[in-house]
Structures are given as C-alpha cells and as structure tokens.
Amino acid sequence: MLVVGFNARPIAAQARMCGFRVFAVDYWGDVDIYSWVDDVAVVREHAGSHTDFAKVAVQLSHQMAQKHDIDGVLIGSGLDDKWDCLERIQEVAPILGNTPSMIRKARDKIELYRALRTRKINVPETVAVENCEEAIVAARELGFPVVVRREAGGGGLGVHLARNKEEVKKFFNLCRGEGRVIVQEYVVGEDISASVLSDGKRAVTLTVNRQLIGVPWLGGKEFIYCGNIVPHESENVCKVVGKVAEEICEFLGLVGSNGIDFILREGEPFFIEVNPRFQGTMECVSMVTGMNIVEKHIEAYHGNLPRKIDIKGFAVKGVIYAKKKAVIPDLGDMPYIYDITKPGTVVDEGVPICSVQLTAPTPEQCVEKLKEITNRVYSKLR
C-alpha cells in the first residue's frame, strides 16, 4: 500500500496494523513515521520547504512504484484540490477511496453550497470574486466581518477574517493566485467536524467532534487547525450533526473515510466544507471506538459499513506550533507525543513541532492533560 499525504504517518501506521507492506510519500519526514513504513520519500528533503507538495508527491509516487510493487494508494491531506495530480497518482495503482472527479465535485464550494441549499442544509452566504473591487462589494453586501479565503486549501491556511475594506484588500491580495478567492458570511459559533464512513450510497457517522481552531496556547492563529476533542459531549449535537453529515456524503456519493466540517450556531449546523479523505481526527476516533480506520475505510470502499459503533471515553489531539523561531529538542521520551520533528531542526514561528494525542474520562480532563504536556514541550525549546 502506498500512502500519499502531507502527514502520512497516521495512515501508514494503521495500514501497517492491517498487515500491509507500507510505502509512503510524506511532506515532513517526522521521526515516528519510519517504524511504520518499508520505504518513505520525504518531499521536504527532495524539494525544500517552499514547494508545491502535490506536484512533487506525484514524481515521488511514480519513483516509489518503480522501486516497489504497489497494489493500492491511500490518500491523505494536501491533495484535495489537486485533481490533475490525483489523476497522475492514480496511474501508479488504484486509489482506494474517492476518485479525482468525486473529490473535485466535493471541493467545488460554490456549486456544492448551491446544491445543499436546495436540500434545506444551512450554508454560509458565499461569493466567488475575480478582483479586489468585487471582493469589497461582496463584503459590504454580506456585512462585516467577512471571511476572505482561497476556495482551495486545508487546515485553515489561506482563511482570514476581514473587519473592514482595508483588510478585504489585504487578504484578497494574499489569497489571489492559484484557484478562486471567495468572500463568505462569517458564521459565529462552535467549530465541529464529523468523521463519516460511506459506501457510495449509504453513510454512517462514527463520531462528531469539537474542533480546536486557532488556539493561542497551542501556537495557533486565525483559523489554523489545532486539533480535536472526540467525540462531542452532547448526544443531541452528535445526533443532529451526524445526520446532516451522512446526508451530504450520500448526496455526493462518497466512499471510504470522509470528514465534514460545520459551524454550530445556536444548535443549527452550518456546512463549511468536505475533506474527502482521511482526517486529522482518525487516531482519536480509533482511540474511542477501538476501530482501525484504514481497515474500515477499505471495507466501506468495498461496500461494507459497520453496523454498530461503541464509543468509550474521550480523546484529544493537539497540534503544537512554534510560537517563535526555535531549535527542536529530542521529544522521543515524552508520553503521548506523535508527529515528532527531528531533533536539531530549526523551525520558524507557525511551523508544527509535534502533536499530542491521549484519552481521558471527560473532555475537561483531556484538555487539562493536553495543556500540561504542551507546556512541557514549550519548556524544552530553545
């Protein structure tokens, strides 16, 4: 199995647990990926830190196929909006999951919002703009503050909150380039995600989760993804959001493991976007359900969905970002640490250092333990 993703480690680990020989094309080359793979190509080592991950991933995937016999490909983050690159990766071996055309449909926000609105699903008012003047007009019509963002992208990158005309100009210029810029109604509420398995016709929600977005004590800013608490503690929220997430996956005909992001405003979920591949929550979902998500993904791809989901306790994931330029120490002896940057690496502000994943009986205890470990990580930096 070839795993291709910005952070391939979680997928590679669970694929190895399924009994596959695992090869990976990964951006980071974190310390803890190597024990799970037979071979790995690290994009950052081949092409530097300022590179187009998807294009280099295509080249490295084909090189990996020349070295090893590959039966299937599992896709992670970093390729959601690169349909041409997914088509070329598909030449290596069949993608076990959504096809490039399915992913393209799921990621066309303007068309998808329009379609979901007709199905009575809440979506933010959204306008695609060609230039700065159109962006300002759209912002005035929607009412400040507004979200100015790239339609493409993930993890909260390229998403900004504009409070006035000057900020609209600034963020439009930051976002312009590859792909469309959209101006969007700012929906104030709770950041929620749903982890869903789909077989192309039916969908089953495994967990509904709190998202940690832009958390300052994790080094996060704006809309940057900083982790999750799995599951959401409210049974009603899980029921309401899970039902809508299933309807969206069924409407799109998605297969395998998919993530659906929402904002919960006064108890009403507003759909934000689809992540039509493995999500950052996958290991936390495994922790509370006992499921191997790669195994369940492949089963769903072949038309088999789980009949019963047992959830026990809570799990938390926190992505720790550098708050300033720092040298990474050896973090290998710390408990609950994953995605570990190589010791001695110099990282700039805003670059992830590692992630923390753990379980506890309550969400509050999860966050308390996460804060304690985060502070220990920061204390080790120099």
Q: What is the pLDDT of residues 113-160, one digit of tens each?
A: 999 999 999 999 999 999 999 999 999 999 999 999 988 877 778 899
286: closest CA among 193, 154, 195?
195
Instruction: Give pLDDT, residue 49.
Output: 61
What is the per-residue pLDDT across 186-222, written as a single tens digit (0 to 9) for each?
Answer: 999 999 999 999 999 999 999 999 999 999 999 999 9
Rounded distance between C-alpha atoms, residue 242 and residue 334, angstroms: 35
Rounded distance between C-alpha atoms, residue 320 and residue 354, angstroms: 6
Tokens of 255: 């297969």
- Other C-beta atoms closer than 10 Å to the C-beta of 372 total 10
- Per the CB < 8 A criterion, the answer to whether 222 and 161 are in contact is yes
Q: pTM for the full model?
A: 0.96
Rounded distance between C-alpha atoms, residue 108 and residue 304, angstroms: 28
Length of the chain: 382
112: closest CA among 66, 160, 70, 80?
80
Residues of the chain with CATH 3.40.50.20: 2-96
Instruction: Give pLDDT, residue 220.
Output: 96
Instruction: Give pLDDT, residue 48.
Output: 66
Residues of the chain with CATH 3.30.470.20: 190-380
Contact residues for 158 (Cβ-Cβ < 8 A; gap 6+):
149, 150, 152, 174, 175
Rounded distance between C-alpha atoms, residue 279 and residue 285, angstroms: 10
From the options 3.40.640.10, 3.40.50.620, 3.40.50.20, 3.50.50.60, give the CATH code of 2-96.
Answer: 3.40.50.20
Name 354's bridge partners: 320
- Rg of the chain over Cα atoms, rounded to whole angstroms, equals 20
Segment (H or E) for 199 = strand 190-199
**Ramachandran angles phi, psi of 322, nearest 5°:** -65, 130
Q: Which CATH architecture has domain 190-380?
A: 2-Layer Sandwich (3.30)
- Per the CB < 8 A criterion, the answer to whether 126 and 146 are in contact is no
Within the chain, which residues score under 50 in pLDDT? none
Instruction: Give pLDDT, residue 50.
Output: 65
Rounded distance between C-alpha atoms, residue 130 and residue 128, angstroms: 7
Instruction: Give pLDDT, residue 211.
Output: 98
- Other C-beta atoms closer than 10 Å to the C-beta of 335 total 9
CATH superfamily of 125-185: ATP-grasp fold, A domain (3.30.1490.20)
Instruction: Give pLDDT, residue 151.
Output: 86
Q: Is-cis flag, bond preceding 231, omega within 30?
A: yes
Residues of the chain with CATH 3.30.1490.20: 125-185
Q: Are strands 225-230 and 314-321 parallel, antiparallel or unpaired?
A: antiparallel
